[in-house]
Structure 1
C-alpha cells in the first residue's frame, strides 16, 4: 500500500461522506457528535491505507509513489471497461470463480489507492472514479452478493474479498451511490457477519489470524454502515467476549491456535506459523488499535499486554537483519511474492504502527530493534519496497538520533510449544525445524507447498551476515527438496503434496521433539525421526554451543530397500556463485557437475559460509550442481501461483550415504558458521568439543572451553558422568564454584525424571519449584516434568 496525502483530505469533511450518509448527517435533531465520530474514523481508516502528509519531494517517498503508480497504471490499462465484459481482467476470467473475484477486488483496491493518493497520474481522476464504481458494481452483480453461495476456498468469501471491497469503499466512498454501498454491505453481512464464527461452518469458532482479519472487516463494515453494533462486535471480537475469552487474541493458549507463553505461535491447530499467520494477527491487532483509538469503541482490554509481549518474545528472536525465519512461515515459503525479507518487512511495518499505541518503554525498545533490522539489511533495503506511510515512519525513525539501533543478540530459545529452536550469535543465526504428533512436519494445500515433505524433519536454516539471500533468492523452487540441510531421508520419489482443494498437514507419529535451553545461550535438542510409512527411523540430536552446532545421529535404519542419506549442507550459491570448497585443506574443483566421495574426511570448509568438522572422520559425499526450477513447480494456488519462468541456482551439497536399508547407522558433524579454513582445521585438531556418546540410548557432548556437558537420554542411561532414570534433555555448565542445570522432557511422557550429577553439590542457589535436590558427592536432581509440555526446568547449584 503506497500513499501520500490525498486530494480528498483537503475537501470539507461532509464531502467525504457517501451521499446517503450526508443526508442522514443533515437530518434535523440528529446528534452532530455521532456524524463526527463515524467520519473521523472513516477518515482515519483511509489514512491507514494511504497515509497522511508526506513530502513528494523526498526521494524515497517519490519512489514509493512511482511504484504505486506503475502497478496501478498497468491495472488501469488492462481493465476491461466495455459494457459486454465478463471479467474485469482477462487473466481473471470467469469473474464468478472465488479466486478470480477475490483477486479482482484486490486489484481494485490498488487502483483506488492510486486514485486517492496525491502525486500519481491517477489521483482524483473522474474517469478512474467512475470506472471503480462500475467495476465494484460489476463484481457484485456477477459474483459477490448476498444471494451467492460459497464455493471453493472459503477464505476468498469471508476474508479476502470483503476486506479488499471495504477498503475500496472507504477510499472512494464519496463517489459511491447509497444503493450500491448498501448492497455491498449486505454481501459482507452475508459472508462475514461477525468475527466469531466461520460462516460456511457455523459451529467453528474463528481463531488467531482469521479472527483478527474478521474483526477489521466488521469494524470497517460498521463504519461504512454507521452501525454501532458492528463496531462493538469488532472490538469485542478481539477479546472473544461471545465465548468468554476462549479465543481471545489478547491472551495465551495452552493448545490449538494462538500465542503461547514460551513465545510459540500456532495456527491450524498444529503448524508453527509465527512468520505468516502470526504476522497477520499482529497486523490486524495493530490496525484495530489504531483505527478505534479515542472512540466509543476503543480497545480497553488490559490483556492486550500479551500482544505487546509477543513482539519481543515471539517475533524478535526469529528476525535476522530484517529477515523472518522460513522455519515459521509454513506453506508461505512456496509463495513467490512472499519471501523471508518481505515477511520481515511486513513485521517491521506492523511494529512501527503498533509502537504508536504501545506503552512508551516498550515502544522505545521496539524502535531500537527495528532501527537495527533496517540499518543492517542492505541486501533488501526496507524503503525500497515500502509504501508511503511505511516510508515516512521508517525515515522518521532512522533520523531520530535518540534511538540507537539494537545490536544482534546472542541467545538460545526453545519454542517447545511449536517444535522450533533458534540459536543466535552476533554474526549468524540458526533455526531448527522439528515435528511430532503435536506439530506438523509440513502443511500443504490449495496448490501450495507442493514439495515441503521434509521441512519439519530437522531442517537447519543457517543465516549469515554476508548472505541474506540464502533462502530468499530462489531457494525453494530450485533446491533439491530431498536434500534439505540437517535432514535424514530415504532416497525415493514423492508425489506433489497439497494439490487438492483445502489445506492439510502431515503429523508424524513420534513423540520426542524439542530440548532444553541453558542461560538463554546454550542448548540441546532432539527428535525421534519416524518417516512416512514408518521409515526411515533415527535418533537425532543437536548441541548448540558458542561458536558451533554439533549434530549427532544414531540408530538409523530402514527396511524398505531404499538408500538413506543425511544432509550436512545444501548451500545456495546463487546464480553465479563460485565459493571455494576445501576438504582436509585441499581445494576442490569449482566446475558445475563435479562430485566426489571421500572415504574419511576430517573437515571441510565452504568459502563465505564456514567450516564443517567430522570428529571421527566420515565417508563424505560432495556435489556442485546447477539446478533449474520455477515457482509454479511448488505453488499453483489460485491467488499465489508462481510464475513458470525458469530459475537457475548453483548449490554445494555435502551429505553422508548410509547405504541401502541400514540397520544401525549413525553420523557426527559440527558446523562452524563464519569460521575460516584455518580455524576449521585447528578446531578439528584441538577437539574443543568431545562426542561423549552417540547411541540410540543417549547422545552427548562435552565442551571443555564452555565448561559445558549436554546430553539427550532416549531412555535411562549414563554419559559424560551424567545419569538419568528416563528420557530427558540435560545441559550442565560449571564454573566459579557453581553449576547451572537445565532439564526438559521433549517426549512429554514422564511425570518426573531424576538426574545424577558427576560433582558434589551442597545446596541450591535458585531453582524452579519443580526441581528438588538431594545434595552430596553424587547429588540427585528430581524434576517434576509432567504437564510442563516439554519446557525447560532450571536450577543453579553450589
Structure 2
C-alpha cells in the first residue's frame, strides 16, 4: 500500500484524519481513562504481564533485566565525584549524561516486571532511589538551559527525554506519592530542550524532525501526555498527528516541508536528507511505529488498521531484500557499519517488529509475516536470540509463531531476484548461494556517513563498493566492523581510488567534527555545513541508476569527487578536501555472474589509481587456496600477471569465488596477514586487535585513462571458470559513452548509455542516457528501460529488424513500427528511476 505524503497531509488537515485519530473524548473521565490505558499498555510492552512472564520462554529475558538493573545499582554504589554511575563523569560529557538516564530506566524497569526478581519487583526503596537520582540529575545537569545542550543535539532532544519519559511511565504512581512536582518540572524542561522545534513542540519544517527522529520525539510526547492524564489529551493528539506523517511515501517531485527522509516507493529509506539508512534509522523507525500501535491499542486514541498495510509494505519491499541469511547488509547502515554489534543483531530487532506487526495483520498478510519470521530464523547463520527482544510479549508471540505448523517458512520475495533501490542509489541481487549488494552515490545520495567518531575511514564506501555474501558463511567472518578494520579503506571490493593517504576527521581537526563558527558557513557540531561537507557529503555526478527485468538487473554510475571538493573555494582555508579518481562504471547482474565494466578510469591530478576487484578476509587458520590461469592458458602460481581467471576458495568456510577477466591487464593478487585494532574504524570500539588473512585482487595503473571488464562468479569451480574462454559472455562496448554486454545463454543484452544521442549495441539502439535490458526467448522479446539521471522525460529504444507487436506493456510505454524496426518509447517523467517494461512478439 502506497500512501503518498501529499494525500496523508491533506487528510490530516481535513475530516479524513478521523479514520486514524478519532474525535476527542466526550469527558475528562474518558480522557483520563484513555491515558491510563496508554500507560498500562506501555508498561506491559516493556515489562511484560503476569501471563507472559510466567511462560518459560521469557525466563532468560527476565533474568537479563534483573542482572542489568543490579549491575547499575552496583555502579551507583561505586560512583565518585561528579558521577551518578561509576565511570560516567558528568558536567561536560553529554554522552555520559544520556547513558546515566538510560541506566536509571533499566533499574526502574526491573522494579515493574511481574514475576521478576524478588529483590527488585515492587521494591519501593529502589524506585525512590531512581526518583531521587532523576531529581539530582535535573537539578545539577539538566535544568540550567544555559549550561545544557552541549555536544550532540540528539541526546538533549531525544536520548535523555526517551529515558526520562519511559521511567516516568514505569514509576507514575510512586512519583505521584513521593515527588509529584518532578513530572511537570521535567516535562517543561524537555519541552524547552526541543530547540529544533517550535514553541516547545514538533516543527515539521525542521530538518531535525523527520523520519526516525520524528517518531522518537512524538512517541515521547504521546507518553508524556498520558502521564499528565486528562490534561495531556491535546499533547497526545498533536504528537500522534505529527507522527502520522512518517507513514507517507516520499514523493521526491512534490516534497512536503522539503523533507526527503522516509520510505520511498521502490523500498528505499533515507535519513539525514541523503543517507541510505534502512539498516539503522529505518530499523529504529520500524520499531517505534510498531510500538506506537501497541501502546495505543484499545485506548481510543488511534485506529491503526489503516496504517498496518503501510508498515507491511516497508517490511516486504524495504527490509526483507536487504537481509541475507539473518544478516543486515552493509550498504544501508550509514556510520553503523563500524559498530561491532550490527548484522545479526539488527535483524533480531526487525524480526521483533514483524512479530508484533503480524499480530495486527489479518489473512494472507499475517501469514506472510509469520512465514517470513520462520524463514529468517531457519536461515540465519547465527542463532536468533529472542531474549534480545525489547518486550516479553514479543517473545511469547515469536514462540507461538515458530510452533504454528499451519504456516510454512517462506521469504517475502523470490529466491532469485534483483532489486534496484534507485531512490537511495543501492542494488541488491540475490540467487541461491549468494547475494550481491552494491553501494552507489550521486548528487542526491551521500557517498558515506561519518559522525561522532564512527566510521572513521569511509571515503570510498559509496563509490561502487560491493559486498558478495556467500551462503552458509557466518557473515561476521566476512563483513561487519572487522572487514573495515582489516581491509584497506582504499581497497574495499569494487572501489576505484587514487593512490594517496587520507586522514580521519579526529586526525585532521583534533575533535569529532570541524569547528569554525566564525566562518560564513558556520561550522558547528550539527550545522548544515557540517552535514554537507563533513558528516555525509554527496557526490557531484547526476548519473547513478539502474534497471531491472525479472530477476536480472543493470546499474551504472559516473564516479565523481564529493561536494566538498566542488565547493573548496567557499570553504575555510584549514578545511581539508580530497579529490577523487575518475571512472564510469556498470554492473550487470545475471544468474551465475556479476559483470563489471569500467571505462575512463584514471586521474586528472596525475596520481596512480587502483581498482579493487575483490577483497575478502578470513581467519589465519582457515584453509584458503588461490588458483588461476594466465591469458595464454598456462597456470598462474603467484604475483602480478595478465590473468584469464582466478579462484579464491576457503575450504574451512566452504565458500569460493571465481573471477573471470574479460579484458587484458595485469592483475595484482595479495594474500597477507593483517593486524589492526577495531578502534581504527570507530573511536568507541574496544581497542581489540583483529588479526585476519586478507585476500585482494586489484588492477593498478598510472593516471592515464584505462578500461576494465571482469566478472565475479560466486561458487565457481575451476572447470566452470575455464569454460568462460569460449563462453556465453561477451563485451559489446566499454567506453565512457556506452557499456554493454551480451549473454547468449540467457538471450540477454544489457547496456548503460551515459551520454546523449543514439548508442548501438547488438542491434539495439538506445537514446541515452539510459539503462536498458533486452531479453529474447520463447518467441518473445522483453525490453526494460530506466532513466539513471532521474531527470529525463522519455527514453527510446530501437530494436532493429522486424516489426514486433506488444503482448503486454506498462502504461507509460508506447510501441510503433518504423523503417528500421520497432521503436519503443518509455515515458520516464517523474518515476524516479523506476523500470518500465514491454513484452513483444
Q: TM-score, normalised by structure 1?
A: 0.88
Residue aligning to 2:517? none
Label 1:769 to 1:201 Cα distance change in 2 as closer, same or farther (>3 A). closer
- Aligned-partner Cα distance in 2 for 1:364–1:598: 54
Q: How many residues end up aligned between the 2 structures?
A: 747
Residue aligning to 2:42? 45
1:287-326 alignment, distance < 5 Å: 287-299=291-303, 302=306, 305-326=309-330
> Residue 221 of structure 2: which of 196, 207, 218 is its match?
218
Label 1:43 to 1:301 Cα distance change in 2 as closer, same or farther (>3 A). closer
> Residue 228 of structure 1: which of 227, 233, 242 is its match?
233
Asked if structure 1 preserves the Cα contact closer than 8 Å seen for 2:35 and 2:225, the reply is: no
> 2:768 is paired with a residue of what secondary structure?
coil
> Which is further off, 444-453 or 612-621?
612-621
- Aligned-partner Cα distance in 2 for 1:197–1:692: 62
Shift of 1:231: 1.2
Specify every segment of 5 or more residues in structure 2 that has no aligned partner in the other structure, as ranges. 1-26, 507-511, 514-524, 566-578
> Residue 676 of structure 1: which of 713, 717, 723 is its match?
717
- Aligned-partner Cα distance in 2 for 1:576–1:63: 34
> Residue 689 of structure 1: which of 729, 733, 757 is its match?
729
Shift of 1:195: 8.0
> 1:600 is paired with a residue of what secondary structure?
strand
Asked if structure 2 preserves the Cα contact closer than 8 Å seen for 1:535 and 1:559, the reply is: no
Question: What whole-Å deviation, never above 9, does each CA across 1:52-96 have from its counterpart, x for those lacking one?
Answer: 2467786653333333333333222111477x8522123221245
- Aligned-partner Cα distance in 1 for 2:138–2:331: 39
> Which is further off, 52-61 or 431-440?
52-61
Are positions 1:471 and 2:488 aligned together?
A: no
Residue aligning to 1:349? 352
Residue aligning to 1:633? 680
> Residue 598 of structure 1: which of 638, 641, 644 is its match?
641
Asked if structure 2 preserves the Cα contact closer than 8 Å seen for 1:628 and 1:648, the reply is: yes
Label 1:482 to 1:198 Cα distance change in 2 as closer, same or farther (>3 A). farther
- Aligned-partner Cα distance in 2 for 1:321–1:382: 15
> Residue 106 of structure 1: which of 91, 102, 105 is its match?
102
Question: What whole-Å deviation, never above 9, does each CA across 1:186-225 have from its counterpart, x for those lacking one?
Answer: 2223234998889799962621111111111001101111
Shift of 1:430: 1.1
- Aligned-partner Cα distance in 1 for 2:94–2:498: 39
Residue aligning to 1:733? 775
> Residue 395 of structure 2: which of 391, 395, 401 is its match?
391
Residue aligning to 2:543? 512
Question: What whole-Å deviation, never above 9, does each CA across 1:445-485 have from its counterpart, x for those lacking one?
Answer: 22222111111000111112222322236223332111111
1:621-770 alignment, distance < 5 Å: 621-636=668-683, 641-657=684-700, 659-661=701-703, 663-682=704-723, 684-715=724-755, 716-770=758-812
Asked if structure 2 preserves the Cα contact closer than 8 Å seen for 1:188 and 1:221, the reply is: no
> Which is further off, 180-189 or 344-353?
180-189
> 1:790 is paired with a residue of what secondary structure?
coil
> Residue 67 of structure 2: which of 21, 46, 70 is its match?
70
Are positions 1:336 and 2:340 aligned together?
A: yes
Asked if structure 1 preserves the Cα contact closer than 8 Å seen for 2:374 and 2:401, the reply is: yes
Residue aligning to 1:426? 432
> 2:500 is paired with a residue of what secondary structure?
coil
- Aligned-partner Cα distance in 2 for 1:197–1:185: 13
Are positions 1:156 and 2:197 aligned together?
A: no
Residue aligning to 2:173? 174
> 1:263 is paired with a residue of what secondary structure?
coil
- Aligned-partner Cα distance in 2 for 1:623–1:656: 11
Q: CA RMSD in A?
A: 2.7
> 2:699 is paired with a residue of what secondary structure?
strand
Shift of 1:670: 0.9
1:387-466 alignment, distance < 5 Å: 387=390, 388-407=392-411, 409-466=415-472
Asked if structure 1 preserves the Cα contact closer than 8 Å seen for 2:645 and 2:721, the reply is: no
- Aligned-partner Cα distance in 2 for 1:708–1:588: 32
Residue aligning to 1:22? none
- Aligned-partner Cα distance in 1 for 2:641–2:649: 16
> 1:356 is paired with a residue of what secondary structure?
helix
- Aligned-partner Cα distance in 2 for 1:656–1:199: 55
> Residue 667 of structure 2: which of 605, 613, 620 is its match?
620
1:221-260 alignment, distance < 5 Å: 221-226=224-229, 227-240=232-245, 248-254=246-252, 256-260=260-264
- Aligned-partner Cα distance in 2 for 1:112–1:236: 30
> 2:427 is paired with a residue of what secondary structure?
strand
Question: What whole-Å deviation, never above 9, does each CA across 1:103-126 have from its counterpart, x for those lacking one?
Answer: 111111222223323333533334
Specify every segment of 5 or more residues in structure 1 that has no aligned partner in the other structure, as ranges. 1-29, 241-247, 590-594
Label 1:232 to 1:195 Cα distance change in 2 as closer, same or farther (>3 A). farther
> Residue 374 of structure 1: which of 372, 377, 391 is its match?
377
- Aligned-partner Cα distance in 2 for 1:562–1:151: 42
